[in-house]
Every structure is written in structure tokens, then in C-alpha cells.
Amino acid sequence: MQQELILMKSFIKEVLVQMHRKTTTDKYGQIARSNFTPSLFGDRKEEVEKYCKENEGILQYSTYGAVYGTYRAFTIEDAEIRKACSEALHKNENYLRNVNSW
């Protein structure tokens, strides 16, 4: 059981770090909230959401409203995952270009 928890957290971290490496940002280097949707996890999105509900402090799911309706997104709460994502973002070419362009 403990091994499954570690594997799921590693999967979540891997997916989010990859997204931060490849995502686009606005001119201030910010990632849009709509990029943090459960669909990032593909076929495992329900499994990830269940894991996060059972293990608080990983991802916080919320519902947001936008021009085209509502959508579910999440906030990264885990410090280890947040740090890894921040490091990946700071190496992202789009982020570097946008932050250094003004």
C-alpha cells in the first residue's frame, strides 16, 4: 500500500514537472489557471483525484468559472512537487523569453 502511494505521488510530480517544462506563459511568466485541469493526468485522472482526496496536501481541487462556463482545476499544495515544478518552469524557454522581454 505504501509503495502505491509513493508511485502515485511520483506520477503526479512527473506529469506536473513535464507540463511546467513545456507550457506557455503570459508576458509576466504566469501559467493560466486553466492549464491545471485534471485532464493533464490522462486516463488516470479519476485515480489521481481519488488519491488526492484520500491524501490531503498533494493537490487541492476547486471549481472555477470562466467565459465559457465552469471547469475543475487544482492547486499544487505539496512543497516537494511545487519546488520541482518551479525549477522546471525557470528553465522553460517560453517563460524565460516572456519574463526577460520587458
Q: What is the pLDDT of residue 44?
A: 96
- Residue 96: its pLDDT value, please? 94
**Confidence category of residue 2, pLDDT binned at 50, 70, 90:** confident
Using only the alpha carbons of the chain, give its radius of gyration. Answer: 14
Angle at 93 between CA 58 and CA 59, to 5 degrees: 10
- For residue 57, CA distances in Å to 26, 33, 52, 79, 85 come to 27, 19, 8, 9, 16
Give the position of cell 505504501: 2
Per-residue pLDDT tens digits for 25-76? 999 999 998 889 999 999 999 999 999 999 999 999 999 887 888 889 999 9
Look up the pTM and report it.
Answer: 0.89
